[in-house]
Amino acid sequence: MNRTRVAIIGLVALLLVALGASGWLWVERGTLISRDATTQAEFGKLKDQVTAADEVQDKNRQLQDQVNDLQERLNNPPTSVAEPTSPALEPTATPEAGPTPTVDPAAPTPTGPGGVEPPAEIVAVMKQIEQEVIALRGLPEERPVTRRMLTRDELRDYIVKEMETENTPADFRHETSQMWMLGLAEKDIDLQQLYIDLQTEQIGGFYDPETDTFYIIAENNDFPAADQITYAHEFNHNLQDQLINLQDGLKVGEFDADRSLAFRSLVEGDATKLMSDWLQTDLVPRMSPDQLQELLRTLQEQQDSSDILEKVPGVLRDGLVFPYEDGLTFVEEVYAAGGWEAVTKALQDPPTSTEQILHPEKYLSATRDNPSLPNQFDLLPVLGADWTTAMTNTIGEFDLKSLLNYTDAAGDMDAAAAGIGGGRMSLYEHTSDFTPVLQWTLRWDTAADGDEFLNLFRATFKSNGDLLLRENDLNRTDDDVHVGIKGSGQEFVVIFSSNQDNVRNALNALP
């Protein structure tokens, strides 16, 4: 295989990771449809992915030089290239006998969005991919799957329906309040519409574990190479689901969001590695250099058309990308310790925090570094009868890194977020005017770890007497957020609210 061809393969594999091959699109963890969905992410992260791959994969050594060489060669392509005998979209398996089935386009699958059954020739390619993935991953298929194709409009209708079923206006209000008080989003951002638009643009396919059904987004009954890669990734999720029941692993997100994100990162990292390996082992030998370059152009066109993704708050983009990028790095470390068998064992004994995903040695060590969650003091009696507890959940290293990154903290943000033992959050809300109060309780491995974070965190606010102040919009006094901190070192509490009295009353009541 010549240098150009190797570079194209490497660039396609890494671009797929940078675009986000597939995942539960729970950007704000729990507010979006709970389905396994193939998505696009950020092409701008390609350089970071090249560096990460160089560190964790021997097969990608010197890939940066190859990518740079490829860019020159794409700008000055050769006058001719040799074509292989087997095109990318031509299956080696023989399609099933009989005519292409006629399907009612409106016929839904159980609890699903409908769509149509793929034509027989596409089903044959899908079955070929399934057998290749089974052989590569080493997991058996114990239940048959259903395959459907959706248009983008059908996908959007399904997203809207699912969102109306699974979420209330209060859910979006609570998420907005929390993000606003943390300085991560505008106060009046329309999260519901943003999520609908984001998913409609980003999802290229998804696996529904409740019905063992794959959905591929296709407007013209085509099944190009990019969709085949998606399908390989999705089918791996089916194998995972038959091993451990993915829904059980995700249910913890209702009360332990950090653990849920760690689980999804393992699942997505597994599928992303499998996808990359399958691309190079099975798909590439069926493709010519021209077809590889066409795939690369297709993926970049998808990124260039990602208008909605560019508009969402950065913390939401990070939440979308994290399971693929950091999940892949984690899985590569597990794989290096024992191959696919070790990854399978990890699915059966998954990581319990994003700290373990970001620092795989804390998962792989003989004495695993599991979260140590602090007690959370209940502020509801202090706030009064007109208040309610709107949300409670956990906080992890991913959340702290995002907070520092998007509130203009100055310093080593990675180091400041590291060393978190565990965290809890509670959001309280006034029942009539919806005034919010946010409470964070953070426990650290050492007092030095806690103080390192606290010093960077304090610097993102103005001093305002006994409190801290964030002036989100200098033209609006109702956009100010007041912050109080009690304690320091190994454990402390942070209170956020637009009302100074609420912050002071909460601080005074804390033990």
pLDDT tens-digit readout, 300-311: 777 676 677 777
**Please, which pLDDT band fits residue 245 given cuts at 50, 70 and 90?**
confident
Task: Label residue 368 by pLDDT band (50, 70, 90).
Answer: very high
Please give the pLDDT value at position 28: 28
pLDDT of residue 39: 42
Q: What is the pLDDT of residues 47-105, one digit of tens each?
A: 233 233 333 333 333 434 444 444 444 444 444 333 333 334 433 333 333 333 333 33
Residue 473's pLDDT band, with cuts at 50, 70 and 90, is low
Mean pLDDT of 281-301: 87
Which of 205-214, 401-410, 436-445 has the largest mean confidence? 436-445
Residue type for position 116 = V
- What pLDDT score does 478 carry? 64
Centre a 10 Å sphere on the Cβ of residue 485 and count the other Cβ atoms it contains: 18
More confident residue, 434 or 102: 434
In this prediction, residue 472 carries a pLDDT of: 61
On average, the pLDDT of the chain sits at 80
Give me the percent of the chain exceeding a pLDDT of 70: 76
Q: How confident is the model at residue 217, as a pLDDT?
A: 87
**The predicted structure's pLDDT at residue 214:** 87
Query: For the ranges 140-149, 440-449, 498-507, which has the lowest average pLDDT?
Result: 140-149
d(CA 44, CA 47): 7
Q: Quote the pLDDT of residue 56.
A: 34
How far is residue 107's CA from residue 154's CA, in Å, rounded to a whole number?
A: 12
- pLDDT in the model for residue 254: 72
Helix (H, G, I), strand (E, B) or coil at 151: coil
Task: Give the pLDDT of residue 251.
Answer: 78
pLDDT on residue 451: 97
Q: How large is the average pLDDT for residues 185-197?
A: 90
Residue 344 has what pLDDT?
98
More confident residue, 334 or 251: 334
In 105-232, the DSSP E strands lie at 146-150, 205-208, 213-217
What pLDDT shows up at residue 428? 98
Cβ atoms of 281 and 136 within 8 Å: the answer is yes
User: Is residue 468 pLDDT above 50, yes or no?
Assistant: yes
Q: What is the pLDDT of residues 203-231, one digit of tens each?
A: 888 888 888 888 888 877 789 998 899 89
CA 98 to each of CA 104, 126, 341: distance values in angstroms, whole numbers, following the listed order: 18, 17, 40
Highest mean pLDDT among 42-51, 52-61, 489-498: 489-498
pLDDT at 34 over 50: no
Most confident listed range (2-6, 20-24, 35-39, 436-440): 436-440
What mean pLDDT is predicted for residues 279-297?
A: 88
Instruction: Assess contact for 289 and 7: CB atoms under 8 A.
Output: no
Which of 321-335, 355-369, 458-472 shows the lowest mean pLDDT across its residues?
458-472
Q: List pLDDT tens digits, range 156-170.
A: 999 999 888 888 999
**Residue 253, pLDDT score:** 65
pLDDT of residue 423: 98
Task: Please report the pLDDT score of residue 105 as a whole number.
Answer: 33
Q: What pLDDT was estimated at residue 353?
A: 97
pLDDT of residue 59: 36
Say how far apart CA 173 and CA 188 lie, in whole Å.
9
Distance CA(434)–CA(388), nearest Å, equals 10
Query: Given the structure tokens 């791996």, which residue do they identify?
Result: 236
SS (H, E, C) 449-487: HHHHHHHHHHCCCEEECCEEEEECCCCCHHHEEEEEEEE
